[in-house]
């Protein structure tokens, strides 16, 4: 409601009497004051207008502060949510100031993410919520597409466009140019929205998978003789791996793009790409049938290898600049990021070819090679996001922050394993 009040407040400035002219002049530190000058000989109206101005300015400050407070609460209660901190007068700021505020905000969000690094419960809860959100989106677009066009043709043959709810999820303010672009493109291809949901779930799954692996391996190193058993978790991760392998085997016989096949398969197999949560029990199990921590770690390693194979099997289709959706400046940013990603991918692949684990289908034997393998999956994920037809600004920021976690120093590869969940 505060947003609607703010909108009404903006419109109230247009209701100025004809005998008054507006002169925008800095007033105080914020530089947002508005001075009124009476153009005719009615000085008694000046004091009234001045009093009204002070009251409205007070309302403006209170509403703006309330909006800021609500945004901060959203960032605290949500993990890695991209909500740029902008006020109603953000259009007056330059692009440099906007970039600095976005960067500083990401630093704050990453600090919150590192707090969650000590416990995975909150991260996993939000992961499940976002997977469910994109499940509902996929079902909706499959139904809408089926009502107008068959699912068998390729996306290029789709003749009817359907509106998308995914473009309305960001809480930030759009500038005038973006508003015009949105009005000019009121409809979107349902196949593009299916692709968006597929890419989002792939990114979310990888963050949950590698985060649990890293955290669990650290726990084993700290408690090597733990008697905790993980029978149920091992079964769930084996199911995760089996479903991935089954999808890889059946995909060549499916009809449509991978995103279409995946969306239909996930409806019938909801556990596909759904990473289970590691949970142990201290109850006494039969020693011959108990799954200890080292055994579960090997199962998770097999799941990561299957996910790596899942990413490698996807057909790579390049997306040219004219086929992307978005403004020209946004497309330029995507192309610039693509060039940086290609350079980092090339360095990583060269290091991987020199490693002992190259061309082996088993889990790497050294910590260095494990980091290289996880880094290869990271760049595959980033490359898949950038190849999408629709890449929002929030998703591009996610890619940029994700790539900052991959670095090279003195001939060694450095990888930050802290999770950063894909935005929705």
Ranges of the chain with pLDDT below 70: 1-64, 66-119, 146-188, 283-288, 317-326
What pLDDT does 327 receive? Answer: 79
Token representation of residue 381: 């994920």
Q: Under 8 Å CB-to-CB from 60, ≥6 apart: which residues?
A: 9, 32
| Token pair belonging to 69 | 């407070």
Helices (H), 30-161: 44-77, 95-116, 121-148
Angle between helix axes 328-353 and 393-404 (nearest 10 degrees) is: 30
| Torsion sign, CA atoms 386, 319, 340, 188 | negative
Six token digits for residue 247: 């999808």
Q: Quote the CA–CA distance of 98 and 107 in Å, as a whole number.
A: 14
pLDDT in tens, 316-358: 765 554 456 667 888 899 999 999 999 999 999 999 999 888 8
Q: What CA–CA distance (Å, rounded) separates 151 from 147?
A: 10
Query: Using CA atoms, how far apart are residues 380 and 385, in angstroms rounded to an integer?
Result: 9
Which residue has 């289709």 as its token pair? 317
Is 186 in a helix, a strand, or coil? Answer: coil
Q: What is the pLDDT of residue 113?
A: 46
Distance CA 10, CA 60 (A): 9
Helix (H, G, I), strand (E, B) or coil at 53: helix
- Count of C-beta atoms within a 10 Å radius of residue 403: 16
pLDDT digits (tens, 9 = 90+) for 392-405: 999 999 999 999 99
Q: In terms of DSSP bridges, do strands 20-24 and 412-415 run parallel, antiparallel, or are they unpaired?
A: unpaired
Q: What is the CA radius of gyration of the chain?
A: 26
CA dihedral 320, 324, 328, 334 (to 10 degrees): -70
| Helix pair angle (190-222, 258-268), 10° resolution | 70
**CB proximity list for 356: less than 8 A, separation 6 or greater:** 364, 365, 366, 369
What pLDDT score was predicted for residue 149? 37
The pLDDT assigned to 317 comes to: 66
């Amino acid at each position: 409601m505060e947003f609607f009040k703010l909108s009404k407040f903006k419109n109230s400035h247009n209701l100025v009497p004809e005998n008054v002219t507006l002169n925008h002049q800095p007033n105080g530190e914020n530089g947002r004051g508005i001075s009124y000058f009476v153009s005719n000989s009615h000085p008694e109206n000046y004091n009234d207008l001045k009093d009204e101005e002070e009251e409205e300015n007070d309302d403006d400050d209170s509403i703006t502060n309330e909006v800021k407070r609500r945004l901060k609460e959203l960032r605290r209660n949500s993990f890695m949510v991209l909500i740029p901190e902008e006020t109603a007068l953000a259009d007056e700021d330059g692009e440099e100031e906007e970039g600095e505020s976005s960067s500083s905000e990401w630093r704050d969000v990453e600090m919150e993410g590192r707090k969650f690094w000590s416990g995975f419960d909150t991260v996993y809860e939000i992961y499940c919520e976002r997977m469910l959100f994109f499940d509902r989106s996929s079902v909706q677009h499959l139904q809408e597409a089926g009502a107008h066009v068959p699912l068998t043709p390729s996306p290029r043959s789709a003749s009817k466009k359907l509106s998308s709810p995914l473009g309305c999820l960001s809480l930030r303010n759009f500038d005038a140019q973006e508003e015009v672009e949105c009005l000019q493109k009121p409809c979107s291809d349902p196949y593009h929205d299916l692709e968006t949901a597929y890419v989002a779930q792939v990114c979310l799954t990888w963050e949950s998978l590698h985060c649990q692996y890293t955290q669990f391996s650290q726990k084993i190193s700290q408690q090597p003789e733990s008697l905790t058993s993980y029978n149920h978790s091992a079964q769930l991760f084996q199911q995760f791996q089996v479903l991935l392998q089954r999808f890889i085997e059946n995909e060549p016989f499916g009809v449509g793009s991978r995103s279409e096949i995946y969306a239909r398969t996930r409806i019938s197999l909801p556990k596909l790409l759904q990473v289970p949560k590691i949970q142990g029990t201290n109850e006494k199990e039969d020693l011959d049938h108990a799954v200890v921590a080292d055994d579960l770690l090997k199962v998770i390693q097999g799941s990561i290898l299957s996910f790596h194979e899942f990413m490698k099997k996807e057909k790579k289709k390049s997306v040219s600049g004219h086929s992307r959706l978005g403004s020209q400046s946004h497309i330029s940013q995507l192309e610039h990021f693509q060039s940086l990603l290609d350079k980092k991918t090339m360095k990583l692949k060269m290091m991987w070819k020199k490693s002992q684990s190259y061309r082996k289908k088993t889990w790497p034997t050294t910590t260095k090679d494990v980091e290289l393998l996880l880094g290869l999956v990271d760049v595959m994920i980033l490359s898949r996001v950038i190849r999408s037809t629709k890449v929002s600004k929030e998703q591009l920021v996610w890619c940029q922050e994700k790539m900052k976690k991959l670095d090279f120093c003195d001939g060694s590869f450095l990888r930050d394993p802290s999770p950063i969940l894909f935005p929705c």
